[in-house]
Amino acid sequence: MMSVGLARKAAAFGAGAAVLAVLSAGLVTSPAQAATSTTAKAAKVSVAKPKVSKGDYEGSCPVKINFSAKIKVPVKGKTELAYRWLHGDGSKSKVKVVKLKGKGTKTVTVKQSVTFKEDVKKGWEAVQVLGPKKATSKKSYFSVDCQKEESLNEVVTHGDDSIDARAWASPSSYVGRCDTPGDKIDFTGVIKTDRPRWVRYRWVLNGDVVDYGKVKVYDARKVGFGINPRHSERGWAKLEVLGRDGTSSNRAYYKVWCKKDKPEYPDHHDHDVKVSAAASVKTGTDCTVSASGQITSTGEGRVSYTWSLNGTEVSSGTTYFDRKGGTHVINGFSQTVSGEATKGGVVRFSISGEDDRDSVSTRYAACKTPPTTLPAPAEKAEEKPAATPSPSATATETKSAV
């Protein structure tokens, strides 16, 4: 007689009366049968990822999609293979049992057909083996896009469709450890359409397709994916809309700097590499502002630097130090200023190391813009001989002088 607990467990699997009878019969076995059952339970079972007859279907509905998967079962004597299908909506099929005989590894192909009457955005199917030993296959994904007849005609005759795509990275730069779980850079895209429609898209990362999908867009729809780089890198990603009216977004650029763990030094319990910045600035007679700098580090590491002129970045770069550290001379910039900037301003030199950062701000002097045109030379007046003064006038001048 079957125990209440076992009956409940079999019912939870969705087993039919035939399966319950098989399980019930299995409780009363001879010693030889028990040994065979123990050997079967200890056998290793493998399940292949199911194959889909129509992985990405688009057309009229209802539509029937076929799934099949291969199960390998080591058999010694009588062995019963119990399995069921797992569906993407969370439901499960009834448990099915296949009886096997003989010795060696047997391959069993299991199949199922499912009819879909509505859209399935991202469905999947998998096979779960319950006996002689538990095993579950990988998920096999598929999608169904049901289109009415008039909708199909509209796709053919509609010639002025408009689709737009934009993409960006958040954050566009990352500095920190890369050996921790979680996405370091997230890419977000927006797809805009002039009418409600299904849109197929894919993400391209540095020239390789890394993600794809299909969404219903009524006006605008966000899609995205994330990456977790394992080393320092820089690159780009873009969103591509597929199909007759396909388009591509802009390139969303990103950069990642993976910080390494602090090395263990025998003479230091906790060694932090310190960095410091120094800069010199001068103003030329032609209103050209020139700058140069120095970076000093107490140890090994990578140091990034940025030059800014009146709040605007004008130059940047990276320098590397070995374990001894030292001082590196950094070429700055030379830029001609105009307008309000000729009255003087600020040059900022910022640096960032793995454990420390520093910055220095230096003012530059005002300059005078040279005149663009020279004034014309003044014309000399024609010289005339002076008139001879009369004696009376001369006497008067002499007297006035006294």
In sequence order, what are the residues at sequence separation of 6 or more whose Cβ sits closer than 8 angstroms to the Cβ of residue 288? Answer: 334, 335, 336, 337
Structure confidence at residue 299 (pLDDT): 87
pLDDT of residue 356: 86
pLDDT in tens, the chain (402 residues): 444 444 444 444 444 444 444 444 444 444 444 444 444 445 589 999 999 987 778 777 888 899 999 999 999 888 999 999 999 888 999 999 999 988 899 999 999 999 888 888 888 999 999 989 999 999 999 988 886 644 433 433 334 468 899 999 999 889 888 878 888 899 999 999 988 989 999 999 998 888 989 999 998 999 999 999 888 898 999 999 998 778 899 999 999 988 765 444 444 444 678 889 898 888 888 899 899 999 999 988 889 999 999 988 888 888 988 888 899 999 888 889 888 888 888 999 999 988 888 999 998 888 875 544 445 555 555 555 555 554 444 433 333 333
Is it true that 4-146 and 163-258 share their CATH fold?
yes
pTM metric for this prediction:
0.33
Delimit the domains of the chain by residue range: 4-146, 163-258, 275-364
Q: What is the pLDDT of residue 318?
A: 87
Domain 4-146 grouped into CATH 3.30.70.1140 = no
Q: Which CATH class is domain 275-364?
A: mainly beta
Strands 252-258 and 233-241 turn out to be antiparallel
Instruction: Please write down the HEC assignment for all residues of the chain.
Output: CCCHHHHHHHHHCCCCHHHHHHHHHHCCCCHHHHHHHHHHHHCCCEECCCEECCCEEEECCCEEEEEEEEEEEEEECCEEEEEEEEECCCCECCCEEEEECCEEEEEEEEEEEEEECCCEEEEEEEEEEEECCCEECCCEEEEEEECCHHHHHHHHHCCCCCEEEEEEEECCEEEECCCCCCCCEEEEEEEEECCCEEEEEEEEECCEEEEEEEEEECCEEEEEEEECCCCCEEEEEEEEECCCCCEECCCEEEEEEECCCCCCECCECCCCCCEEEEEEEEECCCCEEEEEEEEEECCCEEEEEEEEECCEEEEEEEEEECCCCEEEEEEEEEEECCHHHHHCEEEEEEEECCCCEEEEEEEECCCCCCCCCCCCCCCCCCCCCCCCCCHHHHHHHHHHHC
**Ramachandran angles phi, psi of 3, nearest 5°:** -70, 155
Of 296, 290, 292, the C-alpha closest to 351 is 296
From the options 2.60.40.10, 2.120.10.80, 2.40.37.10, 2.40.40.20, give the CATH code of 163-258: 2.60.40.10
Which residues, at least 6 apart from 301, have a Cβ–Cβ distance to it below 8 Å?
Answer: 273, 275, 320, 321, 353, 354, 355
- pLDDT for the residue 367: 85
Q: Which residues contact 78 (CB under 8 A, 6 or more apart)?
A: 33, 36, 99, 100, 101
Q: What is the pLDDT of residue 12?
A: 43
What does the alpha-carbon distance between residue 49 and residue 57 come to, in Å, rounded to a whole number?
Answer: 19
